[in-house]
Amino acid sequence: GLWEEDSTDKDDLPEMRRLLRAVRRLPRPQLKLMSLVASAILPTRR
């Protein structure tokens, strides 16, 4: 279920959650830049 995916996220990717929290504080241009970097590093989920 959904809660299982959530729990695996918490176990496997604590640094990703820190990243997301940091990203929310950034202004728009930096956010676009971060998303470009993220899409380059991470596999795309589109």
pLDDT tens string 24-46? 777 788 878 888 888 888 776 65
Residue 30 counted as domain residue: yes
Residue 35 counted as domain residue: yes
Ramachandran area for residue 44 (φ above 0: left; ψ -120 to 50: alpha; else beta): beta
Residue 9 counted as domain residue: yes
Structure-block tokens of residue 13: 């990717």
Query: Burial of 32 by CB count in 10 Å (0-12 exposed, 13-18 middle, 19+ buried)?
Result: exposed
**Looking at the whole model, is its pTM more than 0.95?**
no
Residue 17 counted as domain residue: yes
Domain that holds residue 15: 2-40
pLDDT for residue 18 is more than 60: yes
Instruction: Look at residue 46 and give its three-state secondary structure.
Output: coil
Give the pLDDT band of residue 12 (cuts 50, 70, 90). Answer: low
Task: State the total domains in the chain.
Answer: 1
